Chains A and B, each alone.
Chain A
């Protein structure tokens, strides 16, 4: 080994070059693909941790939306007497919570993923984007479990979905993209600003009441509807319910607005992430 001269050193196709990165457009999809096993390992770890104790784990996943729906059914259905178009109010609330829970758990878990893995970031190299991405499998599994329950309810109450069911996967993707976009932004900021982890739950709580989760958007007074519709969560949650129950209506313009917001959020998230990523190990 020697003190090196200044002549360029090694060349070759498989040579890894480590140098300061500028620019934020290169997303290194190839590198992500190389680390696909780790992505699966992260996802699988979360799933194992959540479903470890089979009884408690699964029942928690089921109980959460059930209790939420029950409370909404009492508050909005019984006390406030919101319209339900002949369908049990519990189902109205549960179908809203289906989409909402997907969004809020994905956002919550993505927003803390970097801080929670500080030790890993300081000690091991891997594309950091794997951490927020690794949240997805577990969130989707929770969503699937809640979805199976929804099917059970629909069979019990003899609700047959129409052709609108094709919109269900689209709304799922929109909600997930939006959650990941906001989640990645929050996660990047949380590395530097520790109060992000208190702001996010607050934000989520406010958004829940500003979205048609426990009630149908048609119950919102027409006077405030234009402002209400600014919330990009309105369309996907409302349309997800519509696709299952036929309750409410589909506003195509609103749907495209939400799609646009989710794409922009995801892009901004990736850019912010890219921009702050290089300092994660130094400041976390």
Chain B
């Protein structure tokens, strides 16, 4: 539902904090004492930029996920746009009514009743009193606490408290909504309800900017994304692109190049046959990054002190959310694993990796008879990066987890009247 109308626009938006290299005077007494003791000394100061030269345009109806590491400036951006703090340089322009949810339940007063807090909190969030009155029944209904409406909220369980708080926030009826991590509260069922509510908001054509760490939430909600790092805007585009970009970025730090394996004894792993494992590129060098539709090679060093017969080598790949998306296996009989003894190296090559860009985890094990005799789980994390999958320079941008090589054929068909006439 996004239109061409720009509703949020920033130009060179920057925010810096000044850090003094001595403890700040936190009392008048200290400040006076210091002034008397040393009137002319000025302390060394350092300016730290938590947001730097961010220029972007957000159009009406876009649901924008803000992605980045901790301390990348995501919350600062949100706080600047919601006017909680002032920029140091640059400017932002916003067209339309803004609501911002940095936290749910801000300003809740424990002594006041649920009913009173709905009005208080709603007003604090920027709703008019009349608006709250109009939506009061909806809010109560959503929270599911109508029985305790006239009980002071200090007697609420933390779950009820969050429900009520979110219910108020969810009915914030503004054109533009800035949301920061508020979904990380409440039980799973309620979270689902909140997500549903947010998608409704999105479908109503309102503009939302959402800071989140849970990629699954971001992917299910957002259409667009921006990537921040060290206060700078690195990428702005569709959410898919942005997440892929983010996963690229975090690779060197986050993904270890470890090849020595740790095993899962709890799943019945009894033998230490697998000595090391690695992902390698075409020339045999270790890598943790492969491209959609290109070659993926897994190299595993095995050591069998005794001959092993009839084993099956299984490898499977989990998405970063933990669901298995791909399985690779040697045949039960007649394969290269028929009889193993001593030191050997197994290489498994997938000619065209059918995975969408993202972060994945490689797991594998040796299976014999009715169970794993050696199971290695979660040691190797790797990135699938976007490539020119379809040969058109666009890469894989569709939704889903897989992409398959496909052949297309178009035949001219003669459409006969009879074929489409209702019988």
Provide the bound-state CA to CA distance between A196 and B120, in Å: 29
Provide the bound-state CA to CA distance between A3 and B54, in Å: 9
Provide the bound-state CA to CA distance between A128 and B128, in Å: 18
With A125-B84, A192-B26 already in contact, the answer to whether A10 and B10 are too (CB < 8 A) is: no
B69 contacts A by Cβ under 8 Å: no
> Is the pair A2, B236 in contact by a Cβ cutoff of 8 Å?
yes
Partner of A1, one of B56, B92, B103: B56
B30 to chain A, nearest CB (A): 8
Q: Which listed segment binds A: B111-119, B328-336, B354-362, B375-383?
A: B111-119
Q: Which residues of B contact A192 (CB under 8 A)?
A: 24, 26
Provide the bound-state CA to CA distance between A216 and B408, in Å: 102
B13 nearest in chain A by CB position:
A18
B25 nearest in chain A by CB position:
A193
Partner of A4, one of B55, B64, B85, B96: B55
> Is the pair B27, A123 in contact by a Cβ cutoff of 8 Å?
no
Provide the bound-state CA to CA distance between A18 and B81, in Å: 7
Q: Which listed segment binds B: A41-49, A170-178, A262-270?
A: A41-49
> Is the pair A15, B93 in contact by a Cβ cutoff of 8 Å?
yes
A225 contacts B by Cβ under 8 Å: no
Of residues 1 through 32 on chain A, the ones whose CB sits less than 8 Å from some CB of chain B are 1-6, 8-10, 12, 14-21
Q: Which residues of A contact B129 (CB under 8 A)?
A: 37, 40-41
Q: How large is the interface on A (under 10, 10 to 19, 20 to 34, 35 or more residues)?
A: 35 or more
> Is the pair A41, B120 in contact by a Cβ cutoff of 8 Å?
yes
Most buried by B among A10, A120, A122: A10
> Is the pair B57, A124 in contact by a Cβ cutoff of 8 Å?
no
Q: How many residues of B contact A (CB 8 A)?
A: 61
> Is the pair A17, B86 in contact by a Cβ cutoff of 8 Å?
no
A119 contacts B by Cβ under 8 Å: yes
Q: Which residues of B contact A8 (CB under 8 A)?
A: 11
> Is the pair A48, B116 in contact by a Cβ cutoff of 8 Å?
yes
Most buried by B among A4, A48, A119, A278: A4
> Is the pair B56, A195 in contact by a Cβ cutoff of 8 Å?
no
B271 to chain A, nearest CB (A): 53
Most buried by B among A15, A37, A40, A48: A37
A194 contacts B by Cβ under 8 Å: yes
A interface, by DSSP: helix, strand, loop or mixed?
mixed
CB-defined interface of A177-215 with B at 8 Å, one 1/0 digit per residue?
000000000000100111110010000000000000000
Give the tally of cross-chain contacts (CB within 8 A). Answer: 141
> Is the pair B91, A19 in contact by a Cβ cutoff of 8 Å?
yes
Q: Which residues of B contact A38 (CB under 8 A)?
A: 123-124, 126
Provide the bound-state CA to CA distance between A194 and B30, in Å: 11
Q: Which residues of B contact A20 (CB under 8 A)?
A: 86-89
Q: Which residues of B contact A9 (CB under 8 A)?
A: 6, 9, 11, 57, 93
> Is the pair A281, B85 in contact by a Cβ cutoff of 8 Å?
yes
> Is the pair A18, B9 in contact by a Cβ cutoff of 8 Å?
no
Q: Which residues of B contact A281 (CB under 8 A)?
A: 79, 84-85
Partner of B87, one of A18, A41, A189: A18
Most buried by B among A1, A15, A123: A1
Provide the bound-state CA to CA distance between A269 and B246, in Å: 47
Q: Which residues of A contact B390 (CB under 8 A)?
A: none
A126 contacts B by Cβ under 8 Å: yes
Q: Which residues of B contact A18 (CB under 8 A)?
A: 80-81, 83, 86-87, 91-94
B226 nearest in chain A by CB position:
A1
Question: Can you give 16 A-B contacts (C-beta < 8 A)?
Answer: A4-B55, A14-B96, A18-B81, A18-B91, A18-B92, A19-B92, A41-B123, A41-B129, A122-B102, A124-B100, A192-B24, A193-B25, A193-B26, A195-B27, A195-B29, A281-B84
User: Besides the contacts A38-B123, A124-B102, A281-B79, what 17 more A-B pairs have beta carbons closer than 8 Å?
Assistant: A3-B236, A4-B10, A9-B93, A10-B7, A18-B91, A19-B92, A21-B86, A37-B128, A38-B124, A41-B124, A123-B103, A124-B84, A124-B106, A126-B126, A193-B25, A195-B28, A281-B84
- Name B residues whose Cβ lies closer than 8 Å to a Cβ of A: 6-7, 9-11, 17, 24-29, 31, 55-59, 62, 64, 79-96, 98, 100, 102-103, 106-107, 109, 111-112, 116, 119-120, 123-126, 128-129, 224, 226, 233, 236-237
Give me the 5 closest cross-chain CB pairs, A-B, nearest first.
A9-B9, A19-B91, A195-B27, A125-B83, A41-B123
- Name A residues whose Cβ lies closer than 8 Å to a Cβ of B: 1-6, 8-10, 12, 14-21, 37-38, 40-41, 45, 48-49, 52, 119-126, 189, 192-196, 199, 278, 281-282
